[in-house]
Every structure is written in structure tokens, then in C-alpha cells.
A and B are shown apart, each in its own frame.
Chain A
Amino acid sequence: MVLKIFFPQCCNRADSGLLVGRWISGHDSAVVLAVIHYPFIPGQVKQYIQKIQSQTGEELSVLGSWSLPKDGEEGMESFLKDLSTMFPQRRWLTVHRVMGKTGFSCRVTHRDANGQTIQPETKKKKEKKEVEKADGENDGGEEQTEGEEKKEEEEEEEEEKVIFVHYEQRKVMLSELHPIQNGIPETQTDPPSELRQMFHAVASCQPLYFMDKYDDGPLKSTHWQTEGREASIIVELLKQGSVPLCLLLGAMLSVWTWICNIRLFSLSPVRFLSSKLSTCVQLSYRTEHMKTLSSTKQAKDHTHFMSKANMVVSVLVDVALGLLLVSWLYRDDHIHMLANTLVPAADHVAKELEQLLQWLMGAPAGLKMNRALDQVLGRFFLYHIHLWISYIHLMSPFMEGILWYGGLSACCGLTFALSLLSDMVALLTFHIYCFYVYGARLYCLKIYGLSSLWRLFRGKKWNDLRQRVDSCSYDLDQLFIGTLLFTVLLFLLPTTALYYLVFTLLRLVVVLFQGVLHLSVDFINSFPLFAIGLRIFRSYRLAEGVKFRVLCEEPGSALHLMMDINPLKGSNVVQTYRTPTYSCYPKDSWLALVKKLFVGELIYPWRHKTTKTD
């Protein structure tokens, strides 16, 4: 049997005393959390441990004794031997270290229910095939290492092998083992692993670390606090200042929510409009975030804390970038320049569109178009462009004002400015959207008509009940009219298809541009900057696992391993801590998109999820 003892590094040079910690259930291991120094009163120790147990809910106990004899402390050995009788445990560890030697030695004694020591059974020594970790050592006995022959021993007893795994207590206390399990233990089918239990034990025994050997308490203990690390003043100030800030934020939010819930805004067309405008969506999203942030309760667990921290950082970054934009925009009369270039740009686009339509109305690329239909469609779209140009010219005096007030929205964050830009682009290219819808509907109608009439041509019919194509005997007039219409539709197909193609391409360009804007907004919203920062600067806080390296493998003492924390990979960090957003991602795969384009269905390639369904 191999016994693993997790030993904190800070206690390597602690004075002799008692080992306090926890046995890990289900595994053969123990975690040492602190060393309580001699002199102590056993009754007070028991009281203290009871108090900590009730505060944390962890099963703390005295694991054993630790002796590091310094000069002038002889006779400690016998004292420590008697200790085991004062603290009745199933197993008692006696760990002994000599100054100058790196290795420890440990002896494990078992007790049965009556408190009598059980002698370890005498067993013959056998050669074993072992993995590198399995070597253990007792004091007084020599063990054989792998590959060596049998030696004659004085004590031919096989005792438990002990491995000491050293860990840095402060780092393990602050670290969070991934994948995070937030569930209640009853719902889990298998018990948590040894490592998880160990991390949990170290992290949850916070009250144990309040008193150390420099305090004036009845007990003096050594743990990570004794290494003397200063807390950061800034963090403390922030913690103190955050409470009134949260209260202020909460008050502002309640006012804002009250405004939003005015009857006027819950009318159906207003609601429809606000669900389509990305600025309103972004506003509601940020309001949700602020609501989470403005609660004054501390975060319940690690995930909650990380999401709050990510939100704060994201908002701060957003506002900083927005202010940068504002400082650039309002300087050097940039707004005026922008307004002056916007209307001529729109004019230019309209002129290009008109030229395009004139080209289509002729013989574009040598294709054979039906002249009458061509002229009809071309004139219709030209009239639309004329309407739109008038609308732009109507708006041009207000353009500068709009831009000025719109630029102010960047103070709330860059995401708002980008959403506003996306909305403005949508409004300015509304005519392209209209054309696309007309062309697509016409084309879709034509395609459906053609497919249905082609079935009539062959003498078949679509059976809606059975969802299949069946043969059907048509009447003479149905046949006649069907063939006539089929011929008409077939010969008019190239014309409509060309218009549809041209306007779909234009629409796709606009959609692509809007998609880029939305993706960048989404990126700013959801990227977990705080988690990435934590990963870079304090990588031990996000642990994926541990790695061991051998510290000391002397033949006369136990095996010592150093446990280092394996930090989480960057991609895993992003995946785990990504803030859920109304994320903007392509709704269909490429194949489905192409199929939709071919048939003429209207495409809205970017889909927005609401936060509620997330």
C-alpha cells in the first residue's frame, strides 16, 4: 500500500509540532494543512479544530506529529510518541526530519477501534515490479529499490510506503481546478478525484489560516501566511470602494428600467423595431450585465466571480476604446468632413446603380433578355432609386447633427458606436434591401411555378398528404393552360434570374459588411479578457491539472515529489469563460446557403440569439 501525503512547502522548516489536515476519503492519502507548534495544550488544540470544523464543514483532524529537532530540543521524540495516545485516530503519522538532510522519514501506525496499536504484519520481502512512484521508506529499515537483489534486513517487515508530495499552499489555495464542477456531490455518479478533493480541502479551510505563529493566540501554527506576503493596497481599496459604487449603479439602473417599461415603448411596432435595431439589442444586453454587476452580494463561486470580472473588464475596455474614438472624432472638425462626404457618396452609389440598371436593360454580356419584361423591371427599379435619392437629399441638412449626436454614443462604449454604424448602414442601403426582396420574391415565385408546371408537363402532381410526386390525369383545359404558362415562365426565366443575381450580390456585400461589424461587437462583448490576463500573469489560478517532479530519491528516506500546477491552455480559457452573448454566427452551412440562393428564398445569414434562450 502506498500512502500519499500532501505536504505544504512552507512547513518544510517549521518547528516541531502536530500535523493538522484532512484524510482524503476513498483514496490512500492525506493533506497536511498546517503545523501547530509545541508547546500546546491538547485540549485547546481539539477545541480549535472543532471550531474550524464547524466553520468550514470540512473534516479536519490531527494527522500526526512532525519533528524537526533544532539545537537544544532533545527528548522531543519520546514526547511526540506519547502524543499519539492523546489524539485517537485510525492512523497516526510520525514524520521526522533532520536538519541538513533533504529527505523526511515517516512511520505510519494503525489503531483499531479500541485504540490499541496494531503491529504491522510480518511479510516476506518479495521482489516487485513497481512504477517509479512506489518506493517508500521507514525509519530504521532498509527497503530494496527496484532491480536490486534481496538484502538481509534486521526487520523483515513490509511496511507502508509513503510518498511526500510537496505543494505550494498559497497557489493551490487560490487555484481552481478545471473542468469546474459546480454540482452537488449527490448528483455526481462517481466521487470527486483525489486531486479535486485535495484542492477543495486547501481552499476551503480559510479560517485555519487566520492565526499563525506570530499572533498572540493560544496556539501557534505555521502555514502559508507565515511566509509573509503583503496584500495589495489597491485591491483592498477597490474592494472597499465597490460597495457604494454598486449601490449607485443599482439606483441608476432602476431609473433606466423604469423608463424602458413605460407603456409607450411596449407597443408592438416599437418592440418590433427595437428588436431589429442592433443598438437597442446592445443596450438591453449591457443593461443585463449592469444588473448582474450592481448586486452587492459577493460572488457565490468561481464561475460567477470570473463572469463578473470579465464583464467589468469588458465594459471598461469598451468605454476606453469608445472614448478614444470620441477624442479622435471631435477633434479637427472630423464630423463636418464625414457629413460632407456622406451625401456625395450616397449620390455616387445611386448613380452607379442607375448605370447598372441601364446596362441590364440593354443586352448585358450578350445574354438574350426578353425586352418587354426587361423594360418593366428596369423602369420600376429606376423609379425606386429616384425616390431614394430624394429621401437622401431631404436628410442631408440634418446629417451633421445626426453624426454629432451619434458620435456621443461612443462614450458609452465602442460597441454602441459600431452598432449605431451598422444600423445607419442598414438604413442607408434600405433600397438595396427592397430591390433584393422584390427580385427574390419574383424569382422564387417563378421557380416554384416552373417546378410545379414541369410536373404538370410530365403528367404528375405533388401529393401533399404523402409528401411525394404522384401521377395524375389532368383535364384538357388544365393541361392547356399549364403548358402555356410553363412556356411563358420558361422563356422569361433568364431575365428574372439576372435581376435576381445582381441584386442578391449587392445585398450580400451589405450583409457582409454588417456581419463584420456585428462580429467585432460580439468579440468585444464576449471575449474574457480578465481570464486571459489571469492566465498570463497568475497562471496558477486556472489549473488544468498537476505535474510532478522528483525532488529527492534517497535510499534512506521516502520519495519526495514536487507538485506543480499545470495551467489551463489558452483556448480552453476562452472556451470556458466566454461570456454568453446574443452571438452572431452564420445560421446556415455553406451548402444550405447556396441552396437557398438557388431557390430564391430570402436569406438572413446572421442569426442573433437572445440572452434568455442562451
Chain B
Amino acid sequence: MGPDGAPSPAVPWRKVLWECQPFPDNYVDQRFLEELRRNEGIRQYRYWAVGLLSPETLLWTSLVCSLLGYGLHRAWTSEAEPGCEPRTRLADLQSAAIFLSFTFGFSPVLKTLTESVSTDTVYAMSAVMLLAHLVSFPYAQPSPPGSFSLNAALFASVCLASRLPGALHTFAMLSCALMVFALWPCLLQRLRENAPNHFTGLCVGVCVGGVGGLGSQSPGGAVLLALALGSVTLLCPMLLVRLQRHKDNIQGPWDEAEIHEDLSLFLH
């Protein structure tokens, strides 16, 4: 049946115009909608664009940030106590060269490391390692970073970096990870020594940034992180102070004698 209700004759309709057919010119049959194509060749727009964080961008950003941080660190170190021997610029350059060359050289190998390991294992390993990093971090003296914490953090970042699609991605992520885990605590330490007010502000800023970043991926996680941060930073110290009044240590003449050796007598 055509659209204007004309009775279909015995000859089938063919989609040609040079023949004189008993159908009207705008006649279509029931196979009309089979050739419908929708949304062909249009560009897919996404809210978070894929190319937002390309490895080149990350590299340049981290390079700029590290240079800035290095400059700050140098500025603050020169005001430090004159007792310790500062590293020369050449030694720093050498270290940087070693980092970059090794990372760049190994990134194709690193990319294929966890190819055959399942995603769950990788995520679990990274999570455990980062937790170990948090636990063993030398909070009191972060300037030379503790071996185990740094190693755990780097191991986790290598595991994660090996999941990325390209060698350049791996290199960029590793450089970024190195900056965050190895160099950033040194800078923070200098900052704390020299400008404590700024330090507090920066810490708060970092926390907010972390929570916000997590919130972009999963709001529940962001809430949990905020709670954890709040409890560790605010709640636990308050508990410690509050519970001081329940302390009850007694000492008296029944204690064992302790000998305090004063070796300075022997130095002269």
C-alpha cells in the first residue's frame, strides 16, 4: 500500500525513474525505512574531552613545575645552616639526566610488564603499595625520603603506568610520579622550615585538590577521603590531647637506678 492509499497493481515497484510505472513519483514501498541511516559522520562530543591530558601536556607541565620547585628549593637551601655541604648544581643535573634517561630507556619495557596480569591484580597491588607508602613515610623528617616508602610508591606507579597505552604515556606518568613522591616532600620540608604560614595554606590546598580530584571520578570516594583526612588531621590530635588527663604514671624511690653517662668528661 502506498502512502496515499492507491491500490497496488500486479507489477512490483522498482526504484527507477526512467521507466513509466503505474505508481506516483513519490511512492515508496515497505522497504523504505531499511535504508535509513542516522547520525552518520557526526562528531561525538564528550564532557571530559579525551585529549585533555595528553602525555606531552603532562610532560611540559611537570617540567615547568619541577624547575620552579627546584628554584624555590635552591633559594631556601642557601639560607639553611652552613654546616652541611650543599649539592652542587652539576650533581643535580647529573641526577636529573640519570632519571630521565633511565625512565625513557626503560619505558618500552615497563609498558609490557603487566600485560598478562589482570586489572584487578594490578589495582590491588598498587593500592597495597601506596598504603605501605603512607604508613612508612617519615613524617618527621621527610627531606631525605625514606627508602621503603619511596620504593613502594614508585613500584605502585610503575604498576599503574604499565597499563597505559603508549610508551610516552608511561614515561610521562613516571616522571610525574617521581616528582610527586620524591621531590615534592623535599620542597615541602623547605617550605615548612622557611614559611610556616604558607605551609599550612598549601597543605589545605593540597587536601582540597585531592578530594576534588577524587570527587570527579567517584563522589563516594571523595566523601570518604574527606572524612579520613579530617579525622587524621583534626580528630586524632584532639583525642590525644583530651585523653592526656587520664594519664597516671607514678615514679618513686622504688624505681631502678638509671645511670646517665656523661661522656663529655672523657673528651678533654
Contacts and interface: CB of A to CB of B under 8 A. Distances in A.
Interface of A: 368-372, 456-459, 473-477, 479-484, 486-488, 491-492
Interface in B93-140: 95, 98-99, 102-103, 106, 109-110, 112-117
B184 interface: no
Chain A CB within 10 A, most for which of B112, B116, B117: B116
A480 B116 contact: no
Nearest to A487: B158
B148 A476 contact: no
A476 B109 contact: no
Contacts of A371: 112, 115-116
Contacts of B114: 491
Nearest to A457: B151
Interface of B: 95, 98-99, 102-103, 106, 109-110, 112-117, 144-148, 150-151, 154-155, 158-159, 178, 182
The 7 closest A-B pairs by CB, nearest first: A459-B147, A368-B116, A491-B113, A483-B154, A487-B158, A483-B151, A457-B151
Contacts of A368: 116-117
A457 B158 CA distance: 14
A487 B145 CA distance: 19
B155 A487 contact: yes
Given A457-B151, A458-B148, A480-B99, A370 B106 contact: no
B144 A473 contact: yes
A370 B113 contact: yes
24 contacts: A370-B115, A370-B116, A371-B112, A372-B109, A372-B112, A456-B151, A457-B151, A458-B148, A476-B95, A476-B150, A479-B150, A480-B102, A480-B150, A480-B178, A480-B182, A483-B151, A483-B155, A484-B102, A484-B158, A487-B155, A487-B159, A488-B106, A491-B113, A491-B117
Chain A CB within 10 A, most for which of B103, B109, B145: B109
By DSSP majority rule, is chain A's interface helix, strand, loop, or mixed?
Answer: helix
Given A456-B151, A480-B102, 10 more contacts: A369-B116, A371-B112, A459-B147, A473-B147, A479-B145, A479-B147, A481-B98, A483-B154, A487-B158, A488-B113
B155 to A, nearest CB: 6
A457 B145 CA distance: 13
A479 to B, nearest CB: 6
A477 B112 CA distance: 23
A187 B117 CA distance: 74
Contacts of B98: 477, 481
B115 A458 contact: no
B148 A459 contact: yes
Contacts of A488: 106, 109-110, 113
A371 B108 CA distance: 13
A469 to B, nearest CB: 13
Chain A CB within 10 A, most for which of B103, B117, B147: B147
Contacts of B112: 370-372
Given A484-B158, A488-B106, A476 B113 contact: no
Contact of A474 (B117, B147, B182): B147
Contacts of A370: 112-113, 115-116
Nearest to A472: B147
Contacts of B102: 480-481, 484
B146 A459 contact: yes
Given A481-B98, A484-B158, A456 B147 contact: yes
A369 B103 CA distance: 23
Contacts of A456: 147, 151
Contacts of A474: 147
B229 to A, nearest CB: 27
A486 B152 CA distance: 11
A486 B150 CA distance: 13
A400 B182 CA distance: 70
A477 B101 CA distance: 12
Nearest to B116: A368
Contact of B148 (A457, A477, A481): A457
A317 to B, nearest CB: 60
Contacts of B115: 370-371
B96 to A, nearest CB: 9
B16 to A, nearest CB: 56
A538 B148 CA distance: 77
Nearest to B181: A480
Contacts of B145: 476, 479
Contacts of B116: 368-371
B151 A482 contact: yes
B252 to A, nearest CB: 38
A453 to B, nearest CB: 9
A487 B110 contact: yes
A174 to B, nearest CB: 78
A479 B106 CA distance: 16
A480 B103 CA distance: 10
B154 A480 contact: yes
A360 to B, nearest CB: 14
B150 to A, nearest CB: 6
Chain A CB within 10 A, most for which of B95, B98, B146, B154: B154
Contacts of A491: 113-114, 117
A481 B95 CA distance: 11
Nearest to A495: B116
Nearest to A474: B147
B148 to A, nearest CB: 5
Given A483-B158, A484-B154, A457 B147 contact: yes
B62 to A, nearest CB: 15
Contacts of B103: 484
Contacts of A479: 145, 147, 150-151, 154, 182
Contacts of A492: 113
Contacts of A480: 99, 102, 150, 154, 178, 182
Nearest to B161: A487
Contacts of A457: 147-148, 151, 155
A106 B118 CA distance: 102
Contacts of B178: 480
A517 to B, nearest CB: 43
A329 to B, nearest CB: 53
Contacts of A487: 110, 113, 154-155, 158-159
Contacts of A481: 98, 102
Nearest to B109: A488
Chain A CB within 10 A, most for which of B110, B114, B145, B151: B151
A487 B156 CA distance: 10
A240 B150 CA distance: 90
Contacts of A482: 151
Contacts of B150: 476, 479-480, 483
A480 B153 CA distance: 10
B143 to A, nearest CB: 11
Contacts of A484: 102-103, 106, 110, 154, 158
